[in-house]
Copies of this chain bind each other. A is one copy, B any other.
Amino acid sequence: MKQLVVGIDIGGTNSVFGLVDREGNMYGEGVVPTRKYPDFDQYLEELYIGINNLLKTVDIEYELVGIGIGAPCANHYKGTIDNAADLVWKGVLPFTEKMKRYFPNLPVILTNDANAAAIGEMIYGGAKGMKDFIVVTLGTGVGSGFVANGQLVYGHDSFAGELGHVIVNHTGRMCGCGRKGCLETYASATGIKRTAFKLLADHIEDSEFRNISYNDLTAEMITKAALNGDPLAIEAYEYTGMVLGRALADAVAITSPEAIFLFGGLAKAGKYIFEPTKKYMEMYMLSNFRNKVKLLPSAIDGKNAAVLGASALVWQEKDGEN
């Protein structure tokens, strides 16, 4: 009988869930509008109904073997979501405990989005068979999942992997975390917008971006302009790659990974982000690590990446038991 897992990706706007097998094939998916349910218990009820409806649509014989959940501010050890600014519910939410009431005989496993992406990469993606690698998510912010000795590094409190909040410049840009110069103020979708505006200030050349407000500018527009050969957009990516490449060189010195996978919005810029990042990573790397670490695009990055990553949590735990 086919074994299937429910993967749930909890976002501020929507919670997307899907049924996934060990090979990463999807057997249907569903959505619950997170924001519509300010009452946490009502949200869980809706999520349960949605999952149950999805399970009824499956037309093969299957066994449900677990629930994997990716969420912001997730505490893997406690199964809680702790004070997530992007979610409608405040405080510490006992997510897995409450989910287990609906699915009493199944493992329910929770982690944050970047960790889920890393485990997804290991189970379904480019990190299959790797024991030591890093996944860096380049979205609105920068997240990361570090895998060492075949295990995700959760750390003592489950909040390890905050590569986006390594400080790359102590006199640098203000970060939402209240400090200055965090990597994510440079190497995220928001960071490259800031870099584009810095370049508009520094340079005198004309640019299509001079007619666009900060709030209207998107990383996708910068990527598109780079693809069209816009010098300022290309320079913005070059600078982003320099800051990211240096930070990755430092991360390599600590965990010496076999590969680093870039995931999310900025990674879609292809060579515009990969080439400078690789160049500066090698340039600033300690010599004994040079030309050994692969810099790769995520192999699960696509429409269902977050659901896949969440579902992978269950397979990884099952693999560990065998």
Contacts and interface: CB of A to CB of B under 8 A. Distances in A.
A131 B158 CA distance: 12
Number of copies: 2
Contact of A149 (B132, B153, B170, B258): B153
Interface stretch (A160-168, A219-227, A303-311): A160-168
A257 interface: yes
A74 B170 CA distance: 34
B131 A257 contact: no
Nearest to A242: B170
Contacts of A166: 250, 253-254
Given A167-B249, A246-B170, A249-B167, A146 B254 contact: yes
Contacts of A157: 256, 288-289, 292
- Interface centre among A132, A160, A165, A254, by most chain B C-beta atoms within 10 angstroms, is A254
Interface string A145-157: 0101101011111
Contacts of A27: none
A159 interface: yes
Contacts of A279: none
Given A131-B156, A254-B161, A246 B167 contact: yes
A158 B177 CA distance: 34
A163 B253 contact: yes
Given A153-B148, A166-B250, A250-B166, A288 B159 contact: yes
Interface string A284-322: 101111001100000000000000000000000000000
A251 interface: yes
A256 to B, nearest CB: 2
Contacts of A289: 157, 159
Contacts of A14: none
6 closest Cβ pairs, A-B complex: A155-B256, A160-B256, A156-B258, A162-B253, A148-B153, A132-B156
5 contacts: A132-B156, A159-B256, A162-B253, A162-B254, A167-B246
